[in-house]
Structure 1
């Protein structure tokens, strides 16, 4: 089997994501660069039909022209968003698109998520939400490309980075699947923590880190 270790690792991560509510049965997809011009990625309908529990043979091996070299299933319809990221930022080796339970509130409202937890401080003061574009559309892929060209590359931000997708979910780009999933988890905990802290403040509690 081609890239067996990498495909097994992707299976391990996607199952963890589903088990930990950082995505849901409604969708999401992962990809990773495993060689020059070669990528592995989750197939379409994996979330709905396999409940985020694929076997390694079901992870697709794809070339830069989107020809399936090995694997069972069809390409995700959101492949255009993934490839737009790889083409725009050559530093990226992994992309995760997910529908995290807590972050979906911010994506649905279309607001930047304040970053209040120390372990996401390197991402800045807020995690941005991009303007609405229809799911799986070229417009959405273009919106992500524009974000990288205008907000990431000129400022020297290093992967992993990402953004909320208005009404849709989150997109993250990193230097590897494990580290990108790490940031996903941290951001999801931040979303939960922020909302709960607002409730505590409304009850009269005040935060003082000193």
Structure 2
């Protein structure tokens, strides 16, 4: 089996995403660059049909022309969004898209997410893009345009997709999934903080700190 270790890791991560409410039965997809010629990617309907409990062989090996090289399943229509990221920067090694429970609050409201926790300061601004329909070339284009505005050296990106979910990119799948977990915790904290502020319990602390951003 091609890229067995990498496909085992991806299958493990998508199962964790579902179990941890980082995606739901409405969708989500994950990919990783494994060579200059290939990415590996979760198949379509992995959430709805399999609840993200997939075998490594169901993780597809796909070439850069979006053809399946190996694997049991069909390519998700959202591959265009993943490919927009990989074509933006060759150093992007993984793309994680989910419908994360707390981040969806901000995505559904069309709000940029307040970046409050120390663990998420490396993300910078957590932007919510303007709406475009799921799986559409328009949505892939909005992601591509946002990345281009950030600059061609942008590798780590945490983006909210309006009414849809979250998109995270990084150098490796391990790092991208770590980013997703940090983003979700920040979303939970941000939601509670905004409620506390509205109730007059406490105001959001806008003080700037000298955060340690070295991993």
- TM-score for both structures, normalised by structure 2: 0.91
Aligned counterpart, 2:186: 190
Aligned counterpart, 2:159: 163
Cα distance in 2, alignment partners of residues 77 and 190 from structure 1: 29
Q: Which has the higher helix share?
A: 1
Aligned counterpart, 1:151: 150
- Secondary structure of the equivalent of 1:47? coil
Contact 2:194 2:204 in 1 (8 A): no
Aligned counterpart, 1:35: 35
Contact 2:31 2:40 in 1 (8 A): yes
Paired residues in the alignment total 206
1:102-160: CA deviations, max 9, x gaps?
A: 01111111110010000001112x3000111111011111111100111243xx54x32
- TM-score for both structures, normalised by structure 1: 0.93
- Secondary structure of the equivalent of 1:184? helix
1:25 has 2:25 as partner? yes
Aligned counterpart, 2:212: none
Cα distance in 2, alignment partners of residues 191 and 162 from structure 1: 12
1:15-69: CA deviations, max 9, x gaps?
A: 1111111111110001111011111000000111110110011100111111111
Aligned counterpart, 2:48: 48
Aligned counterpart, 1:199: 195
Distance 1:73 1:101, change over 3 A: same
Contact 2:25 2:48 in 1 (8 A): yes
- Secondary structure of the equivalent of 2:201? coil
Cα distance in 2, alignment partners of residues 160 and 74 from structure 1: 28
Cα distance in 2, alignment partners of residues 62 and 108 from structure 1: 31
Aligned counterpart, 2:116: 116
- Unpaired runs of 5+ residues, structure 1, are none
Q: CA deviation at 1:194?
A: 1.1
Cα distance in 2, alignment partners of residues 47 and 66 from structure 1: 21
1:151-208: CA deviations, max 9, x gaps?
A: 243xx54x32121011111111111111101010101100101111233332524577
